Structure 1
Amino acid sequence: MTNVNGATGGADETDAPRVTDAAQVTQVTRETIETEAGPARVTWHRAGTPRLVLAVSHGAGGGVEARDLQALAEVLPGHDVAVALVEQPWRVAGKKVAPAPKTLDAGWRGVWPALVAPGLPVIAGGRSAGARVACRTATELGAHAVLALGFPLHPPGRPERSRAGELLGAGAPTLVVQGGNDPFGRPEEFPDGGYELLEVPYADHGFAVPKRAPVTQEQALETVTAGVVRWAGSLM
């Protein structure tokens, strides 16, 4: 493990282009894809000249509106990485509780053909429960790499219930981005292994930082995006 401490299948729907800076326009499109677990939804944030795809799904307690997922979708297309935000079927159906892991994996598998359709290497990613899905299925699906955002190493207060095996078994280059105060696993709790770990100082499981922290929320998210940009660049 390398520790890096942060210094700071259906009809498409097309949104109006979203301007991220003076030189970058990101085209956003959505598609609904039928899977074994029900219809899933993919929101594409296209890059002008993509060299990679980052496909990333949400956790069990929220959706693709999560601050880190939105920040990555905003920044990465400007660095030749198309971003696909994947909404699992249970979220598309409006359910409040995530299903069992095997159902989450089935939904992810069903979306995968659409993710590889552009013919580019695909980074399988997710936050929290989505990170576990990406790790569990990476080898099977042939993922180019894995991005684990807020990997839930264990339930809060239950370090004996470790999920390290899923992370260590990903079988692809892996970056873990972890909040320094994440109750699901602080960076120092992670075992040694063939992956890189980026700490977001003072951040919790959702990369929120307290108002009293010596870094701002914007700086915390910049640590996430800058670290992922650097790592993705090393994969090209």
Structure 2
Amino acid sequence: MSKGLSGGIDEDQCAQGQGDITTLWDRPEGTCKATLILAHGAGAPMDSDFMQQMAQRLAARGVAVVRFEFAYMAARREDGKKRPPNPQARLLEHWRAVYAQVRQQVAGPLAIGGKSMGGRMASLLADELEADALVCLGYPFHAIGKADKPRVAHLADLRTPTLIVQGERDPMGDRHTVAGYVLSGAITLHWLVSGDHDLKPLKVSGYTHEQHLDAAADAVAGFLSR
């Protein structure tokens, strides 16, 4: 695998799996409470700054994190050319293959989730895969500027225990807009004050991005420990 798009991948973290699936692991030094397969968003790779920081924070809190890349992003890593995400059916098939591979490698609770699009794709499969939990960071409840076309129908009947960590001013689902949606009782929403889609707050909020990332990691680790 070539070096990461955002500064390089630690080769010690990489493990070549079955077929073309490459996974990137961050493991706790001590007891592992749970394992989380964390998918990237539409525009950034598995080793983006956001993904790196979340994985490292979660590992420090006892959660093993497994990252992977969808086919379009893996192709971009090889030639540097930007591509749109693969069709949804292909993204879901990739998710199924990754889950099957990781499920064979770990014991104990196995959760799935991701940043933005990666989390939304996971939410479409969580019940089917019988994942132990679902974690979404910055869920895209709707496309930017299209709050009248929500992507939430499947969330009303979701059975998998779910945590969504969301910034209050996320342009793809702010606190006021999301309050109007019908969501399953299995879903817990954790709001971060003044946070955007990357959980970054406004300076006037009194919070820093680092504090919000720490709060997100605390929420996820606590949720997966239950």
The whole-number CA distance in structure 2 between the counterparts of 1:148 and 1:169 is 16
Q: Which residue of 86, 94, 118 maps to 2:106?
A: 118
The aligned residue for residue 219 of structure 1 is: 211
The whole-number CA distance in structure 1 between the counterparts of 2:137 and 2:14 is 23
Are residues 1:40 and 2:21 paired?
A: yes
- Residue 120 (structure 1) shift: 2.2
Which of the two has greater strand per residue? 1
5+ residue gaps, structure 2, are 1-8, 77-81
5+ residue gaps, structure 1, are 1-13, 17-27
Q: Supply the AA of the counterpart residue of 2:40.
A: H
Q: Does the CA-based 8 Å contact 1:73-1:83 persist in structure 2? A: yes
The whole-number CA distance in structure 1 between the counterparts of 2:92 and 2:84 is 15
- What is the TM-score of this pair, normalised by structure 1? 0.80
- Residue 212 (structure 1) shift: 4.0
Q: Deviation digits for residues 118-174 of structure 1, max 9, x if unmatched?
A: 122211111111111111111111200100111111111212211112333432000
The whole-number CA distance in structure 1 between the counterparts of 2:33 and 2:222 is 14
The whole-number CA distance in structure 1 between the counterparts of 2:165 and 2:199 is 9
Describe the shift of the 1:216–1:78 C-alpha distance in structure 2 as closer, same or farther (beyond 3 A).
Answer: closer
Are residues 1:230 and 2:218 paired?
A: no
The whole-number CA distance in structure 1 between the counterparts of 2:207 and 2:128 is 39
Q: Does the CA-based 8 Å contact 2:34-2:64 persist in structure 1? A: yes
* Percent of pairs with identical residues: 29
Which of the two has greater helix per residue? 2
The whole-number CA distance in structure 2 between the counterparts of 1:100 and 1:169 is 24
Q: Deviation digits for residues 81-140 of structure 1, max 9, x if unmatched?
A: 211112212111115211111111111111112211212221111111111111111111
Residues paired across the two proteins, number: 207
The aligned residue for residue 140 of structure 1 is: 128
The whole-number CA distance in structure 2 between the counterparts of 1:189 and 1:224 is 21
Are residues 1:91 and 2:82 paired?
A: no
The whole-number CA distance in structure 2 between the counterparts of 1:54 and 1:149 is 12
Q: Does the CA-based 8 Å contact 2:18-2:101 persist in structure 1? A: no
- Which of structure 1's runs of 4+ aligned residues deviate more than 4 A? none
The whole-number CA distance in structure 2 between the counterparts of 1:223 and 1:80 is 15
Describe the shift of the 1:213–1:67 C-alpha distance in structure 2 as closer, same or farther (beyond 3 A).
Answer: farther
Q: Which residue of 26, 42, 60 maps to 1:78?
A: 60
Q: Does the CA-based 8 Å contact 1:135-1:169 persist in structure 2? A: no
